[in-house]
């Protein structure tokens, strides 16, 4: 069986978990305290990051590269469109969330509110929290603008772009950092994706010392 070394709130791991579950690839989850940089862990991935996927006798790292691999070997159900132009749009948005959204929002809020405590590196830096809370508004508005033109973020079908975005937003929702009242279109989109069977494992996550809010696992949030 495949095995995923992961951290529960990591949006990169969540994107891979969603892809695996949507494609019905059975996978054992192994929690990794990646910040301890244990030698076995560093041997599996010298980049010192999760996710790490053991599958088909191989060790795969880098979430975007893992998702493309899963798509190529398990093309159904498809999370990538067929035309090069539409595929570019999916990859552009995956990059948007995993690079820009992550650096402006997720890393700022999640690192300060959760990882500082887990890793014992001190109190939250309120300037980061403030910057992240401000930036998420602009990103939610951008998503609302996309969803005004499209059924899903990258077009009329659900793709890896939706999983990348939902991975970030679900991690932030775990710490109550998403204002679902800001855009009805974004809330409707999230309700659709949250109700998929592939999402269930994410909604069952529990971080010791950080209980999720009641609405986190509620499909009618």
What is the spatial distance between Cα 92 and Cα 70, in angstroms, rounded to a whole number? Answer: 18
Choose between 175 and 183: whose C-beta lies nearer to a second copy.
183
Q: Which is nearer to a second copy, 62 or 192 (CB)?
A: 62
Angle at 112 between CA 192 and CA 100, to 5 degrees: 55
Report yes or no: 125 and 111 within 8 Å, Cβ to Cβ: no
Nearer to a second copy, 40 or 72 (CB): 72
E strands in the chain? 2-6, 27-31, 52-55, 58-61
CB of residue 47 to a second copy, shortest distance in Å: 5
Instruction: State phi, psi for 27 to the nearest 5 degrees.
Output: -155, 130
In angstroms, give the least distance from the CB of 195 to a second copy.
Answer: 29
Q: Give the nearest distance from C-beta 189 to a second copy in angstroms.
A: 19
Please report which residue ranges of 112-212 form alpha helices under DSSP H.
116-119, 126-149, 160-174, 184-194, 200-203
Task: Name which of 85 and 220 has its Cβ closer to a second copy.
Answer: 85
- DSSP line for 130-149: HHHHHHHHHHHHHHHHHHHH
Nearer to a second copy, 40 or 56 (CB): 56
Closest separation in Å from C-beta 175 to a second copy: 24
Could you tell me the smallest distance in angstroms from the CB atom of residue 122 to a second copy? 19
| Identity of the residue, 66 or 178, whose beta carbon is nearer to a second copy in the bound complex | 66
The helix/strand count (H/E) of the chain reads as 10, 4
Site residues for a second copy per CB under 8 A: 46-47, 49, 56, 58, 60-62, 64-66, 68-69, 72-73, 84-85, 87-88, 91-92, 94-96, 99-100, 142
Cβ 48 to a second copy shortest distance, Å: 8
Q: Are 81 and 87 in contact (CB under 8 A)?
A: yes
């Amino acid at each position: 069986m495949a095995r995923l070394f992961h951290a529960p709130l990591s949006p990169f791991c969540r994107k891979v978990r969603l892809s695996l579950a949507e494609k019905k690839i059975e996978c054992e989850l192994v929690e990794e305290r990646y910040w301890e940089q244990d030698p076995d862990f560093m041997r599996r991935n010298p980049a010192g990051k999760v996710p790490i996927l053991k599958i088909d006798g191989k060790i795969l790292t880098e979430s975007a590269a893992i998702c493309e691999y899963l798509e190529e070997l398990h093309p159904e159900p498809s999370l990538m469109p067929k035309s090069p132009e539409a595929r570019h749009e999916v990859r552009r948005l995956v990059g948007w969330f995993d690079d820009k959204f992550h650096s402006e929002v997720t890393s700022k809020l999640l690192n300060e509110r959760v990882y500082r405590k887990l890793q014992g590196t001190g109190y939250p830096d309120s300037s980061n929290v403030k910057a992240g809370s401000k930036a998420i508004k602009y990103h939610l508005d951008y998503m609302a603008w996309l969803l005004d033109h499209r059924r899903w973020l990258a077009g009329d079908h659900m793709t890896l772009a939706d999983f990348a975005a939902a991975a970030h937003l679900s991690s932030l929702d775990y710490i109550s950092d998403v204002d679902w009242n800001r855009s009805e279109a974004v809330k409707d989109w999230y309700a659709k994706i949250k109700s998929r069977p592939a999402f269930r494992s994410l909604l069952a996550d529990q971080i010791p010392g950080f209980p999720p809010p009641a609405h986190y696992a509620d499909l009618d949030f």
